[in-house]
Amino acid sequence: MIPPKFEYFAPTSLQEAVSLLAGYGEEAKLLAGGQSLLALMKLRLASPKYLIDLGRIGDLNYIREEGGRIAIGALTTYSQIKRSHLLQSKCALLPQTATWVGDVQIRNRGTLGGSLAHADPAGDMPAAILALDAELKAVGPQGQRWIQAEEFFLTTFTTALAPDEILTEIRVPVLNGQKTAYLKSAPRPSDFAVVGVAVRLQAGQNGTCEEIAIGITGVTDRAYRAKGVEKALKGKKLEPQAVQEAASTVTQGVEVNENIHASRNLRAHLARLFVARAIQAAR
C-alpha cells in the first residue's frame, strides 16, 4: 500500500523540529523509527500532511548516567537498549523488556520515544517505564517539562504530551540491588502482548517484599500500575500462596480487553498467572 502524499521535513536540531511542529499543528506528525506510523499511513489510518523526521537530530540518541539516574534519548532504538552494558548492569528491566519487542528489524528501527508516544495499549516498553517510575521530558514552544510515567499514558494511542510537544528524554533509576523481570504472553514471540508484566522488586534477606512496582500492558486501554497487587505484597513474605492471592487482584477496577487473541476471561486469567510468574522470576 502507498501512503497519501505528504510534505517531508528533516530538521537537524530539536529547536527546528519544535518550530516546524508548532507551525504545522495537528496536520503534522513526528516520525521516529516509523515502525507504527508508516504502517498506519500505508493503511491510510493516518494521513498527515507534513511529516517531521526526527532521525537527523543526533543529540536525541544516547544512554548515559547522570545525577544518579540513567538518561535515555528518545531516539534510542530497542536494539541499542538491549545491547547497552550500562542498562544491563544498572537498569536491566529495559534490556529485558526490549528483547521482547517484535523481531530484529523492528528493534533496529523502533525507538523508545516512539513506543511511549504512540501508547499502544499492548506495547511492551510502557509496562517497564511504569514499573521504573520513569520521568519523561517533553519539549515544546513554551519550553520543557517533566511528566511522571504514571501520568503519561491516558488511553489508547493517547498520552499527556500536548500536540506541539516532542518527547526528548526518558530518565530511569539506577537499580541498586533491586531485581527485575519482564514476562509476556503473545500468540508468537514477535507479536504484541496479550498480557505483559514488568516487575521491579526489592526483597529482604528473609524473602520479605520491601518494595515492589508492577507495570501491566495488553490488558486494558493503556498500560497501568498494579497498585492493588503492590499494596497486598509490601511487607509480606513472598511465599507462593501470598503472591498468588495478591496477583488475583491485578484486574480489579479495570475493564479487560477482548479480541481475537483472547477473551476477557482468558486475558484476566493470563494477567493473574503472569503477575505471579513475573514476581517469582524477578526474585
Ligand X SMILES: Cc1cc2nc3c(=O)[nH]c(=O)nc-3n(C[C@H](O)[C@H](O)[C@H](O)COP(=O)(O)OP(=O)(O)OC[C@H]3O[C@@H](n4cnc5c(N)ncnc54)[C@H](O)[C@@H]3O)c2cc1C
36 or 178, CB closer to ligand X?
Answer: 36
From 24, 192, 224, 274, residue interacting with ligand X (rule: CB under 6 A): 192
Q: What whole-number distance in Å separates Cα of residue 81 and Cα of residue 83?
A: 5
- Compute the distance between CA of residue 61 and CA of residue 195 in angstroms, rounded to an integer: 29
Q: x/- contact string, 78-117, with ligand X (CB under 6 A)? A: -----------------------xx---x---xx-xxx-x
Residue of 12, 11, 25 whose CA lies nearest to 140 = 25
d(CA 248, CA 188): 25
What is the Cα–Cα distance from 37 to 32, expressed in whole angstroms? 9
Residue whose C-beta lies closest to ligand X: 114
Q: Check residue 28 for interaction with ligand X (CB under 6 A).
A: no
Using an 8 Å Cβ cutoff, are 42 and 80 in contact?
no
Q: How far is the CB of 75 from ligand X (least distance, A)?
A: 7
Q: Contacts with ligand X in 111-150 (CB under 6 A)?
A: 111, 113-115, 117-118, 120, 123-125
Residues 6 or more apart whose CB falls under 8 angstroms from that of 25 comprise 163, 164
Helices 264-282 and 240-247: angle between axes, nearest 10 degrees? 140
Q: Is 74 in the site for ligand X (CB under 6 A)?
A: yes
Distance CA 281, CA 106 (A): 26
Residue closer to ligand X (CB basis): 246 or 262:
262
Q: Per CB under 6 A, which region of 10-18, 160-168, 169-177, 219-227 contacts ligand X?
A: 160-168
User: In the complex, what is the shortest distance from the CB of residue 61 to ligand X, in angstroms, rounded to a whole number?
Assistant: 11
User: Contact residues for ligand X (CB under 6 A)?
Assistant: 29-37, 39, 54, 74, 101-102, 106, 110-111, 113-115, 117-118, 120, 123-125, 161, 166-167, 191-192
